[in-house]
A = this chain, B = another copy of it.
Amino acid sequence: MMESTPAIGRRPGVTIYQVANRAGVSIATVSRVLRGTARVSPDTQQRVLDAISELRYTPSRLGRALAERRHAANGIVFPELFGPYYSEVVLGYENAASDLGRSVLILSTHGRAAVRDIVLDLASRVDGLVLFDGTVDDDLTRELVESGLPIVLLGRPGIAGVDAVSTENVQSARVLVDHLVGHGRRRFAFVGDPQVASDPAERWSAVSEALAGHRLAPPALVRCEFDEEAARVMARDLLTRDDRPDALVCANDQIALGVLLAAEELGVRVPAEVAVTGWDDVMAAKYVRPGLTTVRQPMIELGARAARALDERITGTRSIPIHDVLPTELVVRDSCGEH
């Protein structure tokens, strides 16, 4: 047989056949010493190992994957990758997955038209998939689940029989509201968009309920993109209104930071005139003045947990579905009131 054409840009790889040839054994034997899957005499073993190192042989992952019918890789689909929130999830996910010996494929659906296609493509190259909220609609999700591909839902409402990992919202909203009410705040507004994703929706309704628990008026809903600049523009308006709220509960830190910027520009004092809180505890929350009171989420742990849950599914270690809800923590700084 002639030497085959090398793949684009790569010299032809040395195959198991060449190793077998050189060592004077069959490919089966080479495979055995490679995998340690069966007894091989010390003598031949050494010959094979020699041949391997002399030829600088590395088994083709392609051939191996095809034979084993598995990728030893798993993927995660993000709505986007911008900002500290997702980046920490990436960090936690990569770390955990890598420790479990699986490669990590990432995909962001942000700004892409053919979400279905790219997700299916990704699905075809992994042994399991983590799906963030806001990436794949329920139909496609179900389709993927039914295809038998292990799936873990991240930060989104559970589907029966499917693993899900998310962070706690209801209780933390209550703690946050209690704290603000303790500061004497009465006229609340919720800044964000409950429609855009599951987390903001939960936060919105939880804040509303918590206020009801205090027999206070429901919060005004101020729709706003999850974007610092959009929040700044919105807040420039909101903060100059006659019926200005005295507490702005923002759906995430990005929004809260934009609000703080606007307040500074307008000379509106925080927290004296208005309290501002966020969600996430991004790095800037600690440095902004006044320091941003916010609900910290365990982002890294969230990613790690998803990776492990997925691995358990893939390996079959666990067959009953889980629905993990990670606890959050109120981080009190100065933007919520004098202490």
Question: Contact partner of A94 among B59, B108, B289, CB < 8 A?
Answer: B108
Q: With A87-B87, A148-B9 known to touch, is A71 a contact of B62 (CB < 8 Å)?
A: yes
Query: Chain A interface mostly helix, strand, loop or mixed?
Result: mixed
- Tell me if A147 is interfacial: C-beta within 8 Å of chain B: yes
6 extra A-B contacts, CB within 8 A, seeds A7-B68, A98-B107, A98-B108: A8-B314, A9-B150, A11-B147, A62-B71, A66-B66, A288-B288
Q: Is A6 among interface residues, defined by CB-CB distance under 8 A?
A: yes
Stretch from A22-30, A117-125, A187-195 forming part of the interface with B: A117-125
Question: With an 8 A cutoff between CB atoms, is A185 at the interface?
Answer: no
**Interchain CB contact under 8 A, B10 and A148:** yes
Q: Which chain B residue lies CB-closest to A315?
A: B8
Check if B112 sits within 8 Å of A98, measured CB to CB. yes
- A 140-153 binary contact with B (CB < 8 Å = 1; else 0): 00000001111000
Question: Known interface pairs A82-B91, A103-B105, A287-B284. Does A7 touch B69 (Cβ–Cβ under 8 Å)?
Answer: yes
28 sampled A-B residue pairs with Cβ under 8 A: A8-B127, A9-B128, A10-B147, A10-B149, A11-B147, A60-B66, A62-B66, A62-B71, A65-B65, A73-B105, A73-B125, A81-B94, A82-B91, A83-B283, A84-B84, A95-B108, A98-B107, A98-B108, A103-B122, A104-B106, A104-B107, A106-B106, A257-B283, A257-B287, A283-B283, A283-B284, A288-B289, A289-B289
| Copies of this polypeptide in the complex | 2
A58, CB-defined interface residue at 8 Å: yes
The answer to whether A81 and B90 touch (CB under 8 A), given A9-B313, A103-B105, A149-B10, is yes
**In the complex, what's the smallest C-beta–C-beta distance from A17 to chain B, in angstroms?**
15
Confirm or deny: A263 has a beta carbon within 8 angstroms of a beta carbon on chain B: no
| Contact partner, A87, options B10, B11, B90, B111, Cβ 8 Å | B90
A128 to chain B, nearest CB (A): 8
A316 adjacent to chain B (CB < 8 Å): yes
**In the bound complex, what is the Cα–Cα distance between A63 and B121 (angstroms)?**
14
Contact mask for chain A residues 261-304; partner B; CB cutoff 8 A; 1 contact, 0 none: 10000000000000000000011101111000000000000000
Q: Is A70 part of the binding interface, using a Cβ–Cβ cutoff of 8 Å?
A: yes
Using a CB-CB cutoff of 8 Å, which residues 215-257 of chain A contact chain B? 257
Question: Given A70-B7, A284-B284, A125 and B148 touching (CB < 8 A)?
Answer: no
